[in-house]
Amino acid sequence: MNLAALHPNLRVRIAVGFLQRLLDSMVMSFMAIYLAFEYGVAVAGVLVVTVMVLGVVGTLAGGHMSDARGRRRTLLLGETGVCLTFALMAVADSPAWHSPAIVYCGYLVNKFAASFAMPANDAMILDVTTPESRKLVYTINYWSINLALAIGALLGGFLYNGHFTLLLALAATGTVAIAAATFFLIAETRPEETEQAESGAAAEPRGSILRDFANGYRLVLQDRAFGRLLVAATLFMCIELQLINYIGVRLARDLPAQDLLSIGSWAVRVDGVEMLGILRAENTVLVVALALVAHLVLRRVPDRVRLYAGAGLFTAGYMVLAVSDTGWVLLVAALVLTVGELMDVPVRQALLADMVPAASRTRYMAVYNLNIRVALVVASLCITIGSVLPPWGMAALYGVFGLVIIWQYHAILTPSAARAELARA
């Protein structure tokens, strides 16, 4: 299969997703810094947490609406909200107004709107792909997202100081293009069984909107096989976020300055903070460079092997990052964990797509996307835990996470266990 053979909606959503991630990385990565300078670190922390909480509400609300009213309508509402709030933030940050409070309010609503649209976008990808094409589609999407995040962070880093209003204006302009693409190029993809279920429910006496909302998500949470995959995804993300949490702190505090490369009198000398930046750049560059190659090389490898080996390599790489103080060992560990990541992620996404029922796709995707929010909290707590445990203790904790991930995969992939889970769901 090639890109030309993909559903038109899918080609548009991959392109739009690239632009969305680029704009988000270009602006939103620096909002915490903006709020810290305007309100102080302590207040900024509370403000960012509030944004995260509202994002969870937006995700769940968007998941419910997309299944009830359709993907396209949900996307248009969310993307229009993102566009309007970026424009509001740009005007509020301009020298003529300069209102940090309005900028923050725009940021708050912006993240709600973006979260509101996210499950519909994920469900639309499932709607128009087949089991045979999903690994390739998720590999392309994963490659595209990482490339966008890298470019966006680079642009934002250069333009943030002194040009933040311009960044916001560029984001507003970009989201106009995104909303226009959705309006003119995207067709509705909600499955017929979803529409029939909703129309049948409409013919019966209905309870309150909140009751319908709760009942829809209650069915998702009762799906035990899905719950196992959610646990695996959450722990995987917990490990991944260690690089910017405990491992980042450890490297900045404990890694001695050392030469990574020396030729005669010339040497590349790095400290812990610089090493952290190199490791993050290495991971991003390797994902962008190897994602499509990995798909071609690994396409004949059984899913079970890819999931087990991928989770094992990924975990082992982070365990080394937790304990080593040698630059080249850290670089090799980053290579190993990236290979594990490329083996695992596309297969896990395809596995998720196969187990999600068509009638509740966006509700499932909304709950699944919460793994990132939970992982952020756990990863932050690991900084506190790391102040008590020695580095080898943190490495052992990552090892436990990795074993639980593999255990969840085994329970899902074992045919008898999978049938039992589905029967109980």
Residue 162, sorted as left (phi over 0), alpha (psi -120 to 50) or beta, turns out to be left
The length of the chain in residues reads 425
DSSP-derived pairing of the beta strands 258-263 and 266-270: antiparallel
**Is the predicted pLDDT of residue 62 greater than 60, yes or no?**
yes
pLDDT at 178: 93
In sequence order, the β-bridge partners of residue 366 are none
pLDDT at 38: 87
Domains of the chain: 3-190 (1.20.1250.20), 224-424 (1.20.1250.20)
For residues 394 and 379, give the distance between their C-alpha atoms in angstroms, rounded to a whole number.
Answer: 12
pTM of the prediction? Answer: 0.79
**Is the predicted pLDDT of residue 363 greater than 80, yes or no?**
yes
- Kindly state the percentage of the chain with pLDDT values over 90: 34
pLDDT at 420: 47
pLDDT at 173: 94
pLDDT at 7: 76
- Strand, helix or coil for residue 101: helix
Q: Which helix (H) or strand (E) holds 369?
A: helix 361-386
For residues 356 and 365, give the distance between their C-alpha atoms in angstroms, rounded to a whole number.
Answer: 8
pLDDT (tens digit per residue) in 245-261: 888 888 888 888 888 77
**Is the predicted pLDDT of residue 199 greater than 90, yes or no?**
no
**Is the predicted pLDDT of residue 419 greater than 70, yes or no?**
no
Would you give the distance in Å from CA 1 to the centre of its chain?
A: 26
263 phi/psi in degrees, rounded to 5: -130, 105
pLDDT at 314: 97
**Is the predicted pLDDT of residue 192 greater than 80, yes or no?**
no
For residues 251 and 356, give the distance between their C-alpha atoms in angstroms, rounded to a whole number.
Answer: 40
Contact assessment for residue 301 and residue 389, using Cβ atoms and an 8 Å cutoff:
no
pLDDT (tens digit per residue) in 295-354: 889 988 999 999 999 999 999 999 999 999 998 999 999 999 999 999 999 999 989 988
**Is the predicted pLDDT of residue 292 greater than 90, yes or no?**
no
**Is the predicted pLDDT of residue 208 greater than 70, yes or no?**
no
Q: Exposure string (b/e) for 11-44, b if CB count within 10 Å is 16 or more?
A: bbbbebbbbbbbbbbbbbebbeebbbeebeeeeb
pLDDT (tens digit per residue) in 159-180: 877 788 998 999 999 999 999 9
Per the prediction, the chain carries an average pLDDT of 84
- 397 contacts: CB under 8 Å, gap ≥ 6: 382, 385, 389
For residues 10 and 73, give the distance between their C-alpha atoms in angstroms, rounded to a whole number.
Answer: 17
- 319 contacts: CB under 8 Å, gap ≥ 6: 395, 396, 398, 399
The more confidently predicted of residues 190 and 62 is 62
For residues 183 and 223, give the distance between their C-alpha atoms in angstroms, rounded to a whole number.
Answer: 34
Confidence band of 201 (pLDDT split at 50, 70, 90) = very low
**Is the predicted pLDDT of residue 372 greater than 80, yes or no?**
yes
